[in-house]
Amino acid sequence: MPYEEIPYTVEDCDLPPEVKAFIDEADRRCDLFYDQKLNQRYPRYVPSEPAQVYAALRHVTEQGLPLGETFIEWGSGFGVATGIAAQIGYQAYGIEIEETLVEKAESLLADQGLDAEFLPVSYIPDGFISYDALSGHDIVRDDSFGHRVDGNSRYDGMDIDIEEVDLFFVYPWPGEQEMMLKLFDAVAGEGAILVAYFGDRDICLYRKLEDEDY
């Protein structure tokens, strides 16, 4: 397997005041989103536990696991993990295909004075396709996408290849957990770190090993 799991125990920690203030405001806006029943347009949107996300991102940072300071959140929603990464010091990007959620994330971070960029694109980049398989969703290279067959993929709006990203975060839906690990395997560069939030107090860390030929 070209990635390895890194041992990690979910931590409880005291939130810095600025992180707590950001999370509290994000929670307020999320509650408003639900109170106005706006989520009916996006019935699959469910937020993670931000304090646990902060603890995991802080842990990998303090341990020096990421090789650099570039961060991507796959399926960023309101942009909470992206905002937390920006507060920790990462050059942070959120990938979110729903433009309305991108607008809400941009507004939240701008009002909190945080610098991050949100891209209204699919987290499955050009050169790859996903499909329903017997075991759930799967992802493979699109061999017909000739000029990307070399393995270098890039999201529209970013000036670096995905393989140059140091730290990824994802909160996948149950049927997409394996697919997101396959996506990490397919597009991440050697040494990249993935923080995967699978549910309350269920967070796993992964490191990409040396790339193999695909």
Helix, strand, or coil (residue 34): helix
CATH number at residue 68: 3.40.50.150
pTM (two decimals): 0.89
Per the domain annotation, does 213 fall within a domain? no
Per the domain annotation, does 86 fall within a domain? yes
For residues 58 and 32, which has the higher predicted lDDT (pLDDT)?
58
DSSP 8-state code for residue 210? S
Give the helix ranges, DSSP H, for 50-176.
50-62, 80-88, 99-111
pLDDT tens track for 67-95: 999 999 999 999 999 999 999 999 999 99
Give the pLDDT score at 130.
72
d(CA 1, CA 185): 9
d(CA 142, CA 126): 8
d(CA 126, CA 17): 40
pLDDT tens track for 139-185: 777 665 554 445 578 999 999 999 999 999 999 987 788 889 999 99
Give the pLDDT score at 214.
40
* Count of the separate structural domains present in the chain: 1
Per the domain annotation, does 201 fall within a domain? yes
DSSP 8-state code for residue 15? P
Portion of the chain with pLDDT greater than 70, in percent: 84
Per the domain annotation, does 8 fall within a domain? yes
